[in-house]
Amino acid sequence: MILAVHRFVRNLLARILSFFPMGVRRLLEMVTGEVHDIVFLSTYISDKNVQLTVGNTEFSLRLKGGLRDAHHELVVVQSRGEIYEEVMVSCLSRILDIDKNACFIDVGSFMGYYACYVSAYLSDQSTVYAIESNKDYCEYIDYSIKTNRFQNTIVLNEALSDQRAVVSVWDKSVFIEEPEDKYAGLELSENRKQYMEIRAQAIDTEPYKVDSITLDELCERDGIKPTVLKIDVHGAEGKVLGGATRCLQESVHWVLLELHQEGILGQYSPGYTRRRVLDLLEQCQFDCYLVGGFRGTAITPERQHFREKRKPICIPYTGKENTKVGFDRNKEDIMILAVSKDVENSDKLQVYDTLQ
């Protein structure tokens, strides 16, 4: 109901602004948009159920009160009648159309947006796993699962890494304590401990300690054979993939990866760089593609192309041409689609139709 009211208000404002000259209209759109978003978000002080519509798929999501960061973007985008992370959702939906019996793992599930979306998209007919290191967020995902009456969605409160270790779990990240000289000679952000101290002050919270596990060990323990992975772990993706090589080689067909900036990788996946992450996927027999338009404003060429053509720009990654993929885009996170070489060519073509 709240989202419907806010969409009505935004549409009304758009009609009024259409009578102004273009230059004045853009300025007024920016100002009224900011005011609308501030007023809208003020209604999310306490925990709230949000009814989301993604294409023809509907589901409910329980969101934590005092919204910030991704919470802000999710509800604001929805209030505009748009889709949160639409490029990622578009690619994922196409994959699910091909792999209707997919075993989907949402690594870094956060509030469960992708886990709940896939469960609803597949009509709760396939098993979906939401892996989240933050135990508090797991409670929100559990709440959403019960609200949607999903029977095949499982929440796993686990911290993934490439080794067994004691790790610190923060609000939205996992940090592994390691000797400073362990990665001598490799690209690594300086003063990691100092960075974490500053971060602790900024988010005004203390971490708690847990034992990490690799994705390979977790899947073997629980008898999981994933076919589709979505990974968004705030820079820990190097560690996660480093501990998932057996899964990647034996069962996974598709990986949707949010690959973070080099500095963030250095903090949470010391020893891993963007190049090393992509090379790891290639070594596990995956073809990798940079998918454009995942981040950035609506006026960037990649976003404009997606909105006009309904297909994102896609650039293949090869070791010889790796500078074209991501390394000149280090000011923002990028989206990588990795496709197993074992995937049928006909299925690949269906996804490429969406991407090319």
CATH number of the domain encompassing residue 221: 3.40.50.150
- Report whether pLDDT(303) > 70: no
34 shares its domain with 94: no
Residue 67 lies in a domain: no
98 shares its domain with 239: yes
- Report whether pLDDT(246) > 50: yes
31 shares its domain with 99: no
Residues 296-306, mean pLDDT to the nearest whole number: 59
- Report whether pLDDT(233) > 90: yes
Residues 67-72, mean pLDDT to the nearest whole number: 60
Q: How many domains does the chain have?
A: 2
199 shares its domain with 313: yes
Range of the domain at 36: 2-41
147 shares its domain with 214: yes
233 shares its domain with 340: yes
Residues 174-180, mean pLDDT to the nearest whole number: 57
Taking all residues of the chain, what is their mean pLDDT, rounded to a whole number? 77
pLDDT tens digits for 11-23? 565 566 555 565 5
Greater model confidence, 356 or 289:
289
Nearest of 293, 325, 298, 297 to residue 312 by alpha carbon: 293
Which of 41, 57, 72 delimits the end of a domain? 41
Confidence of residue 202 (pLDDT cuts 50, 70, 90): very low
pLDDT for res 197: 54
183 shares its domain with 123: yes
188 shares its domain with 250: yes
Residue 70 lies in a domain: no
Helices and strands: H and E segment counts in the chain? 14, 13
Residue 201 lies in a domain: yes
Residues 258-268, mean pLDDT to the nearest whole number: 87
97 shares its domain with 12: no
143 shares its domain with 196: yes
192 shares its domain with 336: yes
- Report whether pLDDT(169) > 90: no
Residues 75-80, mean pLDDT to the nearest whole number: 74
Contact 269, 186 (CB under 8 A): no
Q: First and final CA of the chain: distance in angstroms?
A: 37
Q: How large a percentage of the chain has pLDDT more than 90?
A: 38
What is the C-alpha to C-alpha distance for residues 326 and 317, in angstroms, rounded to an integer?
Answer: 9
Q: Which residues contact 172 (CB under 8 A, 6 or more apart)?
A: 69, 110, 134, 234
Residue 211 lies in a domain: yes
Residue 122 lies in a domain: yes
Nearest of 312, 353, 320 to residue 336 by alpha carbon: 312
pLDDT for res 299: 53
pLDDT for res 225: 97
Nearest of 123, 11, 91 to residue 339 by alpha carbon: 91
14 shares its domain with 152: no
The structure's pTM equals 0.79
Residue 231 lies in a domain: yes
